Amino acid sequence: INVCTQRSTRYVSAISAARGLHKSALDAAERPTPEETVTSSFGRFIQSVQPRHLSPTVLQRSKRMVLDSIGVGLLGSTTDVFELALQHCQHMYAPDDVSFVYGRQGMKLSPTLAAFVNGVAAHSMDFDDTWHPATHPSGAVLPALLAISDMLHNNSKPSGLDFLTAFNVGIEIQGRLMRFSNEAQNIPKRFHPPSVVGTLGSAAACACLLSLDRSQCSNALAIAASLAGAPMANAATQSKPLHIGNASRLGLEAALLASRGLEASPLVLDAVPGVAGFSAFYEDYAPHPISSLEEDEHSFLIEMQDIAFKRFPAHLGMHWIADAAAVVHKTLIGLKGGSISPNLVQDILLRVPLSKYINRPFPETEHQARHSFQFNACTALLDGEVTVQSFQPEALLRPELHALLSRVRLEHPHDNPANFNIMYGEVEVTLVSGDVLRGRCDTFYGHWRNPLSQESLQKKFCSNAGAVLSNERVERLIEAVEGLDHLDDCKPVLAQLQ
Amino acid sequence: MMLNFGAAVSSLNTSHLTDEVIRRSKRMILDTLGVGLLGTSTPVFNTVLQCSQRQQALEDSKVWGRPGLSLPPQYAAFVNGVAVHSMDFDDTWHPATHPSGAVLPAVLALAETLPVKPSGLELLLAFNVGIEVQGRLLRFSKEAHNIPKRFHPPAVVGVMGSVAATAKLLGLSAAQSIAALAIACSSAGAPMANAATQTKPLHMGNAARGGLEATQLALLSLEGNTQILDLESGFGAFYPDYVPHPLAEVTPTSHYRWVLEDQNIAQKRFPAHLGMHWVADAAIEARAKFLDKCPNADLSQIKKITLRVPTSRYVDCPLPVSEHQARHSFQFNCCTALLDGEVTVESFSKSQMNRSALKEMLLKVQLENPQDNHSSFEKMYCEIAVETTQGEMFTARCNTFYGHWRKPLSHEDLVRKFRANASTVLRAEVVEGIIYTVDHLDTNQDCSMLWSYMHFNNTFE
């Protein structure tokens, strides 16, 4: 029997292997060296990735994500839930309350709490980016990285490229983890994905920016696993944004704990029968190591799978039905002219995927409205589009809207699965006159198959950021993020957010 | 369901506490404080303390064993919770979880910040609400009855216990209690793989912290899903077989049947996973038989040791390297008990772990997993068979170790454990002060000296 480690050689000589009495002890000695585990391959990746590994496409796409995420966060700082989370954190101050808070000029919190509130802001209106398999990757990562950047001394702020590298590590890790489960391909049922992969993504990104060594990087991921996982039932409630806020905060905490030497399971990402690690969050879990950067085998997932940016603040599924309804609206205007009267409409049929949590016939709160096929379809039918303002209390209570809502029914065709890569939205409006108007959307504008143009993305940013920042700052931010990969340090971005 | 839980949490009052519940919960509180004090000397406690120190607040709560150091209440709950579970020395219940460590640190940290301090009885009530909610939730799943495989129970039910207890202490309305329970649920759950690592105690600390934070957020009017305990996509996400049922109705004058009354708790004699206690007791008995027969025997005469134990991957560790692994190793605890006639706090120190006699004996251990030995703290047993080079065989079996809920520690032994733990950190007068205060908790109007006592440390004086 070959025994690899030095420690066990002494024992083997003292016993007879043939008796097989000590098989379990020998098995332990022959356990694979760390380099072979999935967990350690992730630790290695995080530690060894360099700016030069970022291709132009990756750079371009991730800068777009950074810009969108900041804008969405700034707008989100005007929400009630943000104010609530902020009040909660303000009961705590710190000797190093150094990190900025979105939309609160001059206010500082400690880095982890800043990551928390800014993460809440990013997801507060469900306006942030969505990827495939489904999660909202940027909101979990960016706030923590910005908070760390504020924390670092003025003379040692990360360069723009270092920042982008860490950001991409955070995104990449999330993408890799989601590919360990087929279950992750569909609209989730048990755990809210940002709370599962987002926490580890944040930990990875922070570990990278803090230049932790490879074993610390692995430990950061493992510690983060113990902080991951929030049930879906709290999505479409006011608590949902806290899932992203906590993912960002707790990922940062995990990295900080790892930097101080805390250790956790070295097999957390591996599939160990009888003892669940990260696999605890999935029914079907099949992990594989991340390929080596040295042999040029690795390419970032964002390169192969682009991201969706939302045009209005609601669940991604709403975008298909809104675009389909907008087609019908246009036709109706063409037919009847002027504005749409509900009296013209006899019946509204929506053909959408089956998903309990976005099927809400009569939403009562803003959060519910953002997760209602019916609401978004009727809003788009009435107004021709869905916007930030569509979810204001006054808009929610419109009698014309209610009239339309009561005429909606849903169908769930077999060819329309709850999957952001495959689904479609169809709207069929039967008028009182007997005419039937149809609209269909296979790929909404903003989906990864039909990405927002740079102009559209910047327009969204201006509208969002402009809610709380001066035009000058808005312009400077666009410029700074656009040139992020050329900045010697990221102060130009941070300065506009302080 | 939620309406019912929320109503129960807010309606339970001190008159519902029975004598037995008061007696048992005072024992739990004493044991938890002692274990927590001992835990303040561990590296993991120091790590989380350093990380938490970047937070301060206008109203801070005392860190145990660190005179002069205070943190915002949720961070005090966090680090103190880590201390309690840092050595796996805290109490264990059935179905399996470590209930007190998630609740007590949060309750004490919160109590300290209140302008009007709660009476001892109010503290006991909050504590028991926290324990009760955990017990009820564990009974919603059959899977919960076995040694866990996916999620570490303190991280699942512990945070719900902490939120219930702190909501009780703050007198939240039924509606606010529901919101708090829902918010807490989003902080629940940590995978088992991190148990038997240095991160495990953080599961406890985070449960305490998360529950308190959820209560604070609910007070600020944050809302979650009001059906959180009813839904498979809610608390049910943590269990494959989730069948919730409502709590009994609570009226101001009704009798309430607490889970703690029907199901007592286990308190450990040494800091290791509960399963190790069966092994230790069986090994001690076999050793006694061996030495009885051969008074001057040399234990190296042992040729082979067979342990018949339940299947449990995460406490099957033939050659533990770290202290944490040793606390989760059938083999290690068996050999320590055979060599020394006992397992103690000291058994897990580096010097004891590195003994060559111990390492040699570890190689002689073989595990068997009989079919009738279930992975359940209610049903498991341990059988040991020691074979010597002379061909003799000594066997012993332990069905119920001393300290198990079927055979609880005597009051003297419980207090002895507390004294041994607390004395590593506190002077004798302070140790006795805590014993006295906890003993009189139900009659004391002012218990603020409890957290003051926990704030001392004789090595800092």
DSSP for A33-91, please give it: PGGGSHHHHHHHHHHH--GGG--HHHHHHHHHHHHHHHHHHHHHTTSHHHHHHHHHHHT
In chain B, residues with a C-beta closer than 8 Å to the C-beta of A95 are 54, 56
List CB contacts (< 8 A) between A150 and chain B.
none
* Chain B residue closest in CA terms to A242: B186
A96 band by pLDDT with thresholds 50, 70 and 90: low
pLDDT at residue A24 in the model? 36
CA distance B411 to chain A (A): 36
- pLDDT value of position A383: 94
Q: Say which range, A125-134, A286-295, A442-451, has the weakest mean pLDDT.
A: A286-295
Per-residue pLDDT reduced to its tens digit, A31-89: 444 446 777 777 777 777 777 777 787 777 787 788 878 878 778 777 777 777 777 67
Identify whether residues A92 and A239 lie together within a single domain: yes
Q: What is the DSSP letter of A420?
A: T
Average pLDDT over residues A226-252: 92
Size of interface A-B (CB pairs under 8 A): 223
Can you give the pLDDT at residue B49?
Answer: 80
Arch. (CATH architecture) of B1-269+411-454? Orthogonal Bundle (1.10)
Q: Are B304 and A21 in contact (CB under 8 A)?
A: yes
Question: What confidence category does residue A183 fall into, taking pLDDT thresholds of 50, 70 and 90?
Answer: confident
Residue contact B318–A268, C-beta within 8 A: no
The candidate with the shortest Cα–Cα distance to B322, out of B350, B342, B343, is B350
Are A246 and A130 contained in the same domain?
yes
Question: CB–CB of A95 and B54 under 8 A?
Answer: yes
Same domain for A305 and A388: no
Statement to judge: residues A120 and A173 lie in one domain: yes
Among the listed residues B260, B287, B384, B381, the one whose alpha carbon sits nearest the alpha carbon of residue B342: B287
Alpha-carbon distance values, B432 to B39, B67, B105, B449 (Å): 19, 18, 20, 12
In the predicted model, is pLDDT for residue B308 greater than 90?
yes
- Category of B370 on φ-ψ map: left (φ > 0), alpha (ψ -120 to 50) or beta: beta
Do A121 and A260 lie in a common domain? yes
Which residue, among B150, B245, B231, B140, has the nearest Cα to B185 in the 3D structure? B231
> Above 0.90 for ipTM, yes or no?
no
- Residue A163: inside a domain, yes or no? yes
Cβ atoms < 10 Å from Cβ of B350: 8
Is there a contact between B216 and A278 if contact means CB atoms under 8 Å apart?
no
pLDDT in tens, B116-174: 999 988 998 899 999 999 999 999 998 887 767 899 999 999 999 999 999 999 999 88
Rg, Å, chain A Cα set:
25
Contacts of B223 in chain A (CB under 8 A): 237-239
Task: Give the pLDDT score at B409.
Answer: 92
Task: Give a yes or no: residue A26 inside a domain.
Answer: no
Helix/strand/coil for A457: helix
A117-139 per-position pLDDT tens digit: 999 999 988 899 999 999 999 99
Query: Do A323 and A284 fall within a single domain?
Result: no
pLDDT band at A374 (very low <50, low <70, confident <90, very high): very high
Quote the domain boundaries for residue A364. 316-441
Lowest mean pLDDT among A27-31, A174-178, A433-437, B418-422: A27-31
In chain B, which residues have their Cβ closer than 8 Å to the Cβ of A194?
A: none
State the pLDDT at residue A31: 42
B330 to chain A, closest Cα gap in Å: 13
How close does chain B come to A280, measured CA to CA in Å?
Answer: 5
Report the pLDDT value the prediction gives residue B145, as an integer from 0 to 100. Answer: 79
Classify domain B274-398 by CATH number.
3.30.1330.120
Lowest model confidence (mean pLDDT) among A42-51, A168-177, A360-369, B85-94: A42-51
Contacts A223 to B, Cβ<8 Å? 194, 199, 202
Q: With an 8 Å Cβ cutoff, are A226 and B316 in contact?
A: no
Report the C-alpha gap between A377 and A327 in whole angstroms: 11
Confidence at residue A94, expressed as pLDDT on a 0 to 100 scale: 61
Residue of A148, A262, A268 to mutate, interface with B, max B Cβ within 10 Å: A262
Instruction: Give the torsion sign (CA, B136, B140, B142, B148).
Output: negative
In the beta sheet, which residues pair with residue B91? none
Residue A488 lies in a domain: yes
Distance CA B305, CA B282 (A): 12
Closest-CA residue of chain B to A233: B234
**In which band, very low, low, confident or very high, does the pLDDT at B258 lie, cut at 50, 70 and 90?**
confident
- Sign, CA torsion B21/B26/B32/B35: negative
A288, A339: one domain? no
Backbone angles phi, psi at A56, to 5 degrees: -55, -40
Task: Let me know if residue A144 belongs to a domain.
Answer: yes
Same domain? A322 vs A386 = yes
Cα(B97)–Cα(B33) distance, integer angstroms: 18
Which range among A121-130, A454-463, B276-285 has the greatest average pLDDT? B276-285
CATH code, A202: 1.10.4100.10
Closest approach of A361 to chain B, Cα-based (Å): 18
The domain that holds A350 is classified in CATH as 3.30.1330.120
Q: Supply the DSSP string of A356-395, one letter for each residue.
A: GGG--SS--SHHHHTT-HHHHHHHHHHHSS--GGGGSHHH
Looking at the structure, do residues A59 and A109 belong to the same domain, yes or no? Answer: yes
Nearest to A225 among B48, B194, B231 (CB): B194
What is the bridge-based pairing of β-strands B393-398 and B382-388? antiparallel
Same domain for A366 and A343: yes
B160-215 pLDDT per residue, tens:
999 999 999 999 988 899 999 999 999 999 999 898 788 999 999 999 999 999 99
Angle subtended by helix axes B330-340 and B275-293, to nearest 10 = 30
Same domain, yes or no: A250 and A372: no
Which residues have C-beta within 8 Å of that of residue A96, sequence separation ≥ 6? A110, A111, A151, B54
Confidence of residue A453 (pLDDT cuts 50, 70, 90): very high
Q: Which tokens go with A125?
A: 């209106």
Domains B1-269+411-454 and B274-398 share a fold: no
Supply the pLDDT for residue A88. 67
Give the distance between the most distant pair of CA atoms in chain B: 73
Triad B82, B88, B89: Cα angle to 5°? 100
Could you tell me if B121 and B14 are in contact, meaning their C-beta atoms sit under 8 angstroms apart? Answer: yes
Best residue of A265, A272, A284, A359 to probe chain B, by most B CBs closer than 10 Å: A265
Residue A451 lies in a domain: no
Q: What is the pLDDT of residue A75?
A: 81
A197 and A58 in a common domain: yes
Give yes or no for a contact between B55 and B75, defined as CB atoms under 8 angstroms apart. Answer: yes
CA distance A243 to chain B (A): 7
Per-position DSSP letters for A264-285, written without gaps between them: --TTTTS--TTS-SGGGG-SS-
Q: What is the pLDDT of residues B321-344, one digit of tens each?
A: 988 889 999 999 999 999 999 999
pLDDT of residue A95: 61
| Position A220, amino acid | A
Nearest CA in chain B to A23: B366
User: Smallest CA–CA separation between A43 and chain B, in Å?
Assistant: 16
- Most confident region among B21-35, B309-323, B334-348, B433-447 by mean pLDDT: B334-348
pLDDT in tens, A140-153: 999 999 999 999 98
For residue A39, what are its two tokens? 């967990």
- Cα nearest neighbour of A267 on chain B: B193
User: Three-state DSSP class for A29?
Assistant: helix
Positive or negative: CA dihedral A105, A109, A114, A116: negative
In a domain, A455, yes or no: no
Task: Read off the DSSP letter of residue A428.
Answer: E
Q: Which residue of A has its CA nearest to B314?
A: A275
Left, alpha or beta for A126 (phi > 0: left; psi -120 to 50: alpha)?
A: left
**Count of domains forming chain A:** 2
For chain B, which residues make up each domain, given as ranges? Answer: 1-269+411-454, 274-398
| Angstroms from A25 CA to nearest CA on chain B | 5
Closest to A233 (Cβ–Cβ): which among B192, B233, B363? B233
Integer distance in angstroms from the first to the last C-alpha of chain A? Answer: 63
